[in-house]
Amino acid sequence: MLQQLLSKLGRKRSSKDVAKERLKLVLIHDRANVSPQFLEMVKGEIIKVIRNYMEIDEEALEIQLTKTVSEEGDGVVPALIANIPIKSVKNAGRSI
């Protein structure tokens, strides 16, 4: 958002801020020591659970390790973000 604000004001974000952001993200991955295989495993398990309740588009499912601003406001924390497109909710999952 800050980035957008700055660009609206006609100012480019300084290259050091870009460097810092990129570095933080890459270190989250490095420190967590997650391999693509690990993420595939997580993805497979999530699909298994969710399939019980709804039909999802497994091809379009995206999962990534990223960072987000923590709600306590004490800076950036790692987050697992999954984007799971739902095709339909199964009957068994609906409330009566």
Partner 1 sequence: MGEVIVITSGKGGVGKTTTAANLGTGLSLLGKKVVLVDTDIGLRNLDVVMGLENRIVYDLVDAVEGTCRLKQALIKDKRYEGLYLLPAAQTRDKNSVTPEQMIKLCEELKQEFDFVIIDCPAGIEQGFKNAIAGADRAIVVTTPEVSAVRDADRIIGLLEANELKNPVLIVNRVRHEMVKKGDMMSIDDIIDILAIQLIGVVPDDENIIISTNRGEPAVSDNKSMAGQAYRNITRRILGEEVPFMDLAGQGNFIAKVKKLFGFRSA
Give the footprint of partner 1 on this chain (CB under 8 A). 14-17, 19-20, 22-24, 26-27, 30-31
CB of 61 to partner 1, least distance (A): 29
Q: What HEC string does 74-87 produce?
A: CCEEEEEEEECCEE
Cα angle at 51 between 45 and 53, to 5 degrees? 125
Minimum distance between the CB of residue 27 and partner 1, rounded to whole angstroms?
Answer: 5
- Cβ–Cβ under 8 Å, residues 37 and 79: no
Name which of 22 and 90 has its Cβ closer to partner 1: 22
Of residues 19 and 86, the one with the C-beta less far from partner 1: 19
Integer Cα distance of 53 and 48 in angstroms = 10
**Shortest separation between residue 28's beta carbon and partner 1, angstroms:** 11
Q: Which is nearer to partner 1, 14 or 68 (CB)?
A: 14
3-state secondary structure of 53: coil
Residue closer to partner 1 (CB basis): 17 or 55? 17
Both tokens of 66, joined, read 């990223």
